[in-house]
Amino acid sequence: MGGHGRRNDELVLCELKTLPANYGRAGKPITNFIAGVVADLEKLASRTDERTRGLAIWMAYYISEPVPPQWPEHLVKVRRAAAEQLHVEKIRLDGPRFAHLYVMLASWEDRSRRRS
């Protein structure tokens, strides 16, 4: 995991990720990076419970304004993997380009309610 912290018997696991978007350029496809964020949320979900929370904190950059038409589709994939989107912020970089910062809570299953 990227990091962790403990407060009042609650453990917070954090995965940090940057996604250099390559819209219009050569490089690793953004879909690979998005799949990595989804995998991080799934990994965090497998390690969370009533006392342990998982946060995926990720930033995608450079995202032009208006956003490319594929961007909302990528966000849907990540949001489906998360329990909740806690924070989103657009940060102006240069010209019409921005970084998008997201903080998402990983899902968790109450393991005490599992049936044998």
Q: State the pLDDT at residue 92.
A: 95
Q: Are 30 and 21 in contact (CB under 8 A)?
A: yes
> In the predicted model, is pLDDT for residue 116 greater than 50?
no
Average pLDDT over residues 25-48: 88
Whether 88 has a pLDDT exceeding 50, the answer reads yes
Residue 112's pLDDT is 55
Domain boundaries, the chain: 3-109
- In 25-92, where does DSSP find H-type helix? 30-46, 71-81
pLDDT value for 11: 93
pLDDT digits (tens, 9 = 90+) for 57-67: 999 998 988 88
Say how many Å lie between the first and final Cα of the chain, rounded.
30
Strands 52-64 and 10-20: what pairing? parallel
pLDDT reading at 28 higher than 50? yes
- What is the edge-to-edge ordering of all strands in the sheet holding 97-106? 3-7, 10-20, 52-64, 97-106, 82-94
Q: Which of 28-32, 59-63, 88-92, 95-99 reaches the highest mean pLDDT?
A: 88-92
Least confident of 15-24, 54-63, 99-108: 15-24
